[in-house]
Amino acid sequence: MLSLPPSVRVFLSLSPADLRRSFDGLSRLVGEVIEEDPFSGHRFVFRNRRGDRVKILYWDRDGFALWYKRLEAGTFRFPVSDGARLCVSAADLALVLEGIDPASVRRRPRYKK
């Protein structure tokens, strides 16, 4: 389970990205596609066209950090939504990284402000 403070948001880029890009290229995508500030400390998640690789970019106090995962079998299943991005919880990101489709999860009612 990912442990992120409540102030940190997780943004999924719903269109496939060229994962040959590194820090600068992905931070440019954050500004152009996700339309957020790459220096905010939020997590920005990108996947490739086949869906078997994912990169997570974030600003870590004094520089960009990049987390990369390649699956040997299977694909990452991102939620379906209109638009180029989707803001999800850290729990939903953990589901995606574990191979669970967040749309298939039955959620119990919770209080929200």
Q: Does residue 58 sit within a domain? A: yes
> In the prediction, which pLDDT does 17 show?
93
Q: Can you give the pTM of this predicted structure?
A: 0.87
Residue 105 lies in a domain: no
In a domain, 106, yes or no: no
Per-residue pLDDT, 1: 52
Q: Is residue 108 part of a domain?
A: no
Which pLDDT tens digit goes with each residue over 39-57?
Answer: 999 999 999 999 999 999 9
How many helices (H) does the chain have, and how many strands (E)?
A: 2, 5
> 59 in a domain, yes or no?
yes
Task: Give mean pLDDT, residues 79-86.
Answer: 84
CB contact at 8 A, 39 and 5 = no
| Structural domain includes residue 110 | no
Range of the domain at 59: 10-72+83-100
Residue 90 lies in a domain: yes
Q: Is residue 107 part of a domain?
A: no
Highest mean predicted confidence (pLDDT) among 8-12, 75-79, 98-102, 108-112? 8-12
Tens digits of per-residue pLDDT, 17-28? 999 999 999 999
Count up the domains in the chain and report the number: 1
Rounded CA gap, 88 and 74, in Å?
22
Query: What mean pLDDT is predicted for residues 54-82?
Result: 92
Which of 1-5, 29-33, 108-112 is most confident? 29-33
